[in-house]
Structure 1
Amino acid sequence: MTQTDDLRIKARLLFDAAVSAADPAHAVRRGFAQSPLPPQNSNGRTFLVAIGKAAPAMLREAMDALPDAHAALAVTHHENDATLTGADLMRAGHPVPDEAGARAAQRVMELLSEATEYDRIVALISGGGSALLPAPPPGVSLTDKARLNDLLLSAGLDIVQMNLVRQQVSQLKGGGFVRLAAPAPVYAYLLSDVIGDDLRAIASGPTVSPIGTAAQAIETLKAAEIWDATPDAIRKHLETHKDQTQPPLPDATNTLVGSNKLSLEAMQEEARHLGMNARIVSDALTGDVNDAADQVLAELIARPEPTALLFGGETTVKLAGTGRGGRNQELALRVAIRAQDIDARWVFLSGGTDGRDGPTDAAGGVVDAGTLPRIKAAGQDVNALLANNDSYAALSAGGDLLMTKATGTNVADVQALLIAP
């Protein structure tokens, strides 16, 4: 085994440690311990509603803790092949909303409408919930929502900017869930995929107040230069509501139960267990993927003492081509290109903790000094592929895709730069 092979194995072990630390069942268990539910009203019922990529696992743990729940529903993405006993499980499209998601959103709204002031709603929220529950307001179609989502994803906006807009075109997001549940109290437990853990941005904040207003959503779309391409029905809806003020949101109890930072700390512990010096460089690797690659390269050039440098965050890609890929794959490829002349043995991994990077079956990429030669040997032009945002094809040619199944959790992305001593 070469030194590089050893580093690649260790990089994957660190990634697995990050995913394990974000285990949804452990997160729910922590949440119930930190923020216990109040006693059930003698005349009331408990409704369990789980939304997001980690929904099945979160719901399973909640059902174990609350076996007498009146109803239990989980909505997750199509790729999550988990099963549930004693609960309704619905799957929907992500990152682009689909008809299955529209049906799931309708079911959630029907369930919430059944609750009374004597009942309680336990909401289990994880990343991905925004796309999974498209509940467009009157006059806006699912096709309109899907087109808006495509525009937001291609414009290079961060998750907070995207969710600010999404909230204004939904009956469930931005506190809509709580409004529909009233007068029943809502107790929400959130597994964060958002850097900084802004609860308003996790799954577009169904149980918290909105990030902004319709007027700010218009400003965001215009600043991103996609307002003119936004469907007419959505522009009309936003223009109609830009001067309106929502009544105060009913009270809800929101508890954060897991995050990217906790996963980075688990990676650091695993690196030390493997005999490596380790340091968390940043838990906010955000912004344009090109700039993020520069930050990683700067650490490699500095040749610091630690042999495992860890990052967490969620970058953005502004699409210019028609290729396939995702932010993690493109970040890995850009690092490989920048580091091709660095005289050191190194490995860089970038992966989504949900096991899926963009509209592909890869979680991200794992690159080293041999990546570009392998791509060239496969007859591919790495620069042409990158210009077309075809990082998937490039990394596939080099044998450098990070492949996992859907993990059933999501706390954004993690990166590991391993340098041979």
Structure 2
Amino acid sequence: MDQPRQFLASLFAAAVAAADPDAAIRAHLPERPKGRTIVVGAGKGAAHLARAFERSWDAPLEGAVVTRYGFGVACERIEVLEAAHPVPDAAGLAASERMLQLVEGLTKDDLVVALIAGGGSALLPAPPEGLTLEDEIALNRILLSSGAPISAMNTIRKQVSRIKGGRLATAAWPARVVSLIVSDIPGDNPAYVASGPTVPDKAGPFDALAAIRQYDIKLPAHIIAYIERAAAPAPHPSDPKFARNTRHIIASASVSLEAAARACEAASIRAVILSDSIEGEARESARVHAAIAREIAGRDRPFEKPVVLLSGGETTVTVRGTGKGGRNTEFLLSLARDIDGIEGVFALAADTDGIDGSEDNAGAFADGGTIGRLRSAGLDASAALNDNDAWTVFHAIGDLFVPGPTGTNVNDFRAILVR
């Protein structure tokens, strides 16, 4: 505890290690088919999953996965494609077409292994007839700035796609599809991870329209009209084409938080997991975490010091400003304001894929002295928060956390040490 940042970073490392692709894949290898084995996949951890699958599968295979630019790793038998995230681009459209091509014309003796991780929604643009890639780009931009939870965003996305919402699996029919999923979704609903390209969902156009109204999402009129027409709704789970398919959550926030808790116990520090599925506005969630930390620091309740508070999930940011940042840096800037001047409180919030928002940091560190350091640097935390510019201020005082791409993605990781 004499080096709180190093200690918090070690907890992050433990959480990421618990979602190691090689171990997760080995534990969930499907039976070999009589026919061909085709691998498809998408997400920020898809390339690492593909490499892990190659290492464990000692039989013929072929396929392709798509990951974010800079997240690729070398594979011998599986193509690794790269595309834009969090806003789609033409490379992602080409990757979607490649996935659909790979599963075309298969038989009931063939096996499709789908390696799915968070981030796949943006990496697999495939607008239906009547809409364009530009429409899907606009849709993603609007959803990302809406403040809506990921479940609502993906409910909408899968109604305007040729590949999401189980459609990739129906394209592979009558082949058997086994989906190996690294969940970054609160609650681990496999149909929501990457908008479920191989996993159907009961939610339909009506649910998408309800989400648009509930979160006041300002979509272009022609996209709303397309959803209202329900020209090609996503398939229902009762569709017999899904009868032979299986899906497995092979890594998740819950497992990773438990690993971090064990690392705390090994250091003789109590750990409390608040939740693995926290949603809502990042800055408001931070205020709740800060209130608990203040109560512990001042009154030793509801937990006695020393203790580490752990939480996961996926908060959101309603973008109103023009600054740089992500949900984890925004969380920490809000938290820093509420623990200003309190000694013995140290926090790390980071995305387990290694990237928070659009920059190269996973998150940042904060403590009771963060606001004072910002003031000394001539920076205004409240103004930065109002401009969604948390990255800029944490960068200015050298408090960003930059571990690089991790090869996995089990959502956000938050650890608050109260000494």
Task: Identify the TM-score tier after normalising by the shorter chain.
Answer: over 0.9
Q: Give the C-alpha shift of residue 39 in structure 1.
A: 4.2
Identity of aligned residues (%): 38
Query: Does 1:283 pair with 2:243?
Result: no
Which residues of 2 match residues 194-233 of structure 1 at below 5 A?
Answer: 194-227=185-218, 230-233=219-222
Paired residue for 2:329? 329
Q: Give the C-alpha shift of residue 294 in structure 1.
A: 2.1
Query: Does 1:66 pair with 2:57?
Result: yes
Q: Give the C-alpha shift of residue 242 in structure 1.
A: 7.3
CA distance in 2, matches of 1:245, 1:150: 22
Paired residue for 1:112? 103
Alignment deviations for residues 174-209 of structure 1 (CA, whole Å, 9 cap, x no partner) = 111111101111111111111110111111111221
CA distance in 2, matches of 1:117, 1:387: 55
How many pairs were matched up? 408
CA distance in 2, matches of 1:314, 1:324: 18
Paired residue for 1:15? 12
Q: Give the C-alpha shift of residue 81 in structure 1.
A: 3.9
CA distance in 1, matches of 2:232, 2:107: 32
Paired residue for 1:340? 340
CA distance in 1, matches of 2:76, 2:375: 50
Q: Give the C-alpha shift of residue 245 in structure 1.
A: 8.3
AA of the residue aligned to 2:71: N
Counterpart contact for 1:200–1:211, Cα < 8 Å: no
Paired residue for 1:268? 261
Query: Does 1:50 pair with 2:41?
Result: yes
Counterpart contact for 1:144–1:233, Cα < 8 Å: no
Paired residue for 1:417? 416
- 2:63 match: secondary structure: strand
CA distance in 1, matches of 2:93, 2:317: 27
Counterpart contact for 1:194–1:202, Cα < 8 Å: yes
The equivalent position to 1:237 in structure 2, one of 210, 215, 226, is 226
Paired residue for 1:403? 402
Counterpart contact for 1:174–1:207, Cα < 8 Å: yes
Alignment deviations for residues 310-356 of structure 1 (CA, whole Å, 9 cap, x no partner) = 111111111111111011000011100011143x3110110000000
CA distance in 2, matches of 1:79, 1:329: 21
AA of the residue aligned to 2:278: L
TM-score by length of 2: 0.93
Deviates more, 1:200-209 or 1:301-310: 301-310
Paired residue for 2:299? none
Counterpart contact for 2:63–2:102, Cα < 8 Å: no
Q: Give the C-alpha shift of residue 302 in structure 1.
A: 2.1
Q: Give the C-alpha shift of residue 231 in structure 1.
A: 3.0
Counterpart contact for 2:354–2:405, Cα < 8 Å: yes
- 1:152 match: secondary structure: helix
Which residues of 2 match residues 90-129 of structure 1 at below 5 A?
Answer: 90-129=81-120
Paired residue for 1:156? 147
Q: Give the C-alpha shift of residue 397 in structure 1.
A: 1.8
Paired residue for 1:373? 372
Deviates more, 1:215-224 or 1:86-95: 215-224
Paired residue for 2:183? 192
- 1:376 match: secondary structure: helix
Q: Give the C-alpha shift of residue 72 in structure 1.
A: 2.4
Q: Give the C-alpha shift of residue 360 in structure 1.
A: 1.5
CA distance in 2, matches of 1:40, 1:282: 39
Counterpart contact for 2:282–2:330, Cα < 8 Å: yes
- 1:94 match: secondary structure: coil
AA of the residue aligned to 1:263: S
CA distance in 1, matches of 2:318, 2:148: 8
- 1:399 match: secondary structure: coil
Deviates more, 1:164-173 or 1:243-252: 243-252
Which residues of 2 match residues 285-304 of structure 1 at below 5 A?
Answer: 285-303=278-296, 304=303
Distance change (3 Å), C-alpha of 1:56 and 1:318: same
The equivalent position to 1:24 in structure 2, one of 21, 25, 43, is 21
Counterpart contact for 2:73–2:80, Cα < 8 Å: no
Alignment deviations for residues 68-97 of structure 1 (CA, whole Å, 9 cap, x no partner) = 334121211102042222321100111111
TM-score by length of 1: 0.93
The equivalent position to 1:258 in structure 2, one of 228, 240, 251, is 251
- 1:75 match: secondary structure: strand
Q: Which runs of 5+ in 2 are unaligned?
A: 297-302
AA of the residue aligned to 2:100: M
Q: Which runs of 5+ in 1 are unaligned?
A: none
